[in-house]
Amino acid sequence: MYPTDRRYSKEHEWVRVDEGVVTVGITDFAQDQLGDIVYVELAEEGKDVQAGDVIGTIESVKAVSEIYAPVAGKVVAVNSDLDGNPELVNSDPHGDGWYCKISLADSSVVDSLMDASAYQEFVEQSE
C-alpha cells in the first residue's frame, strides 16, 4: 500500500531521497485521518531545520495538524501548488501532494526511519 522507495516517520511523514535531497510529504494514512484538507501552511524556503522541528501545518475540516521535519537540513523547495490546491494532499499524498524538499545535513538519518513494511505494521498496530 505504501511506496517502497520511501522511508516513513512515526509522525506519518514520508521521505524520498534523491541525490542528497529528500522530498517530504504526509502518508495516505495521515491524510485519511485528517479528512478533507482545506489549507496548507508551507515551510519557509531557506530555513535550517532539525529532525522533529515543526515545519508547517495542515488544516482539514476536522483539525489542524503540524508537519514535522523527519530529517535535519535546509528547506530548499516548497510545493507552491498546495497554495491554491490543498486537496492535492488528499488526492495524491505520495505524489503531487508532496510538501517540501530538504537538503540533508546527514543522509544516514534516513536509515533510522521505517521502510514501507515496517510503517504498514506501525499503522495497523495504531488502528
Does 29 map to a domain?
yes
Count of domains for the chain: 1
Does 102 map to a domain?
yes
Q: Which domain holds residue 37?
A: 7-111
Here the CATH number for the domain that contains residue 49 is: 2.40.50.100
Does 93 map to a domain?
yes
Banded pLDDT at 74 (limits 50, 70, 90): very high
pTM: 0.94
Does 117 map to a domain?
no
Banded pLDDT at 91 (limits 50, 70, 90): very high
Listed in order, strand segments (DSSP E) in 32-104 are 37-41, 48-49, 54-60, 64-68, 73-78, 100-104
Predicted pLDDT of residue 127: 73
